[in-house]
Amino acid sequence: MNAVTDPALTRAPAPPAAAPMELVCPAGSLPALKTAVDHGADCVYLGFRDATNARNFAGLNFDQAAIETGIRYAHDRGRKVFVALNTYPQAAKAELWQRALDRAAHSGVDAVILADPGLMAYAVRHQPQLRLHLSVQGSATNYEALDFYHQHFGIARAVLPRVLSMLQVQQVIARSKVEIEVFGFGSLCVMVEGRCALSSYVTGEAPNTNGVCSPPKAVRWVETPQGRESRLNGVLIDRYAPGENAGYPTLCKGRFDVADDKNYYAIEEPTSLNTLSLLPELMAMGVRAIKIEGRQRSPAYVAQVTKVWRAAIDSCRRQPQGYTAKPDWLRDLDKLAEGQQHTLGAYHRPWK
């Protein structure tokens, strides 16, 4: 579904949200959760150690002891914890997702982030007290879709896919009954979230069902006379020269032979979304929360990104008219960005 366009909505921005904008930061581990909280996150989001979340990597995510400790640490400091159950249950083992939702509710989390309507229906029946957020994996890009989820499942907040322009985000906010959360920083995806099956052509597993684009068991690094090669289930994804930074192999960010015998990023060039410069506009139109991508990244990444965004949001809140993204903020974030460069992505469409 495409975002609805109404020229009348372009005349003035929506009024600011009644509540302050929240900073929602990634927690791929307990140390990352504590780091995010200590550096100013209002909320953290995490996942369990299984296919119910879209960052199902070995060494990441939370067992029961860790989630109990993490929730206690966050709540003692007045912060919120969200659990991402944002993959799609498979019919043969739907109980895995249902048990995960019950587990999240019994642990005392502040919200669960869901993509699947069936799991939402289960939540409404069995855990009616639980606050529900619509995941970016739900691919809802217009207010009619959000109203559907709100009416049928009581969705309180939605994370918008990273395919909308600023005008389209504004229009969704102006018409929607739910809170809106948008991505502020982190890796981009060339696909519409929730609809990517690209990796399944090579590995047989897709992020929306198995929780990871490139399963670690399918990843191989091979040293060759031509350079270090990254392979995914035997398929050559990229080749790196000595000293060149090597990225984790995914099909969409591989380098391939293209026209005129050139070898380049045929689908997507590595770069990170960074919307620091858009913060006053996002705040003015009523965005409820800024989300930072990166549960697969280190606690050091979480610390730096959280620190910068906390300072930026506080600065913009104090003096929105005089706000500018400081050069040192941008430099610090570019050091952590894919390809050490940033973009405004779909938010910036000057021809519209």
The Cα–Cα gap between 164 and 59 comes to: 33
pLDDT along the chain (352 residues), means of 10: 39 51 97 98 96 83 94 98 94 93 97 97 98 94 96 97 92 96 87 70 79 82 90 89 82 81 79 91 97 94 98 96 94 85 78 58
What's the alpha-carbon Rg for the chain, to the nearest Å?
20
Roughly how many angstroms between the first and final C-alpha of the chain, as a whole number? 19
Stated as kind and residue range, the H or E segment containing 223 is: strand 219-224
Cβ atoms of 301 and 35 within 8 Å: the answer is no
The 227-232 sheet, strands edge to edge: 219-224, 227-232, 235-240
Residue 221: beta bridge partners? 230
Nearest to 163 by CA among 140, 129, 196, 181: 140
Contact 308, 314 (CB under 8 A): no
How many CB atoms neighbour CB 279 within 10 A? 23
Helix (H, G, I), strand (E, B), or coil: what is residue 269?
coil
What pLDDT is attached to residue 352?
Answer: 59
For residues 10 and 13, what is the distance between their CA atoms, to the nearest angstrom? 7
Q: Give pLDDT, residue 350.
A: 65
In the chain the domains, ranked by start, together with CATH numbers, are: 7-188+271-347 (3.20.20.70), 200-265 (no CATH)
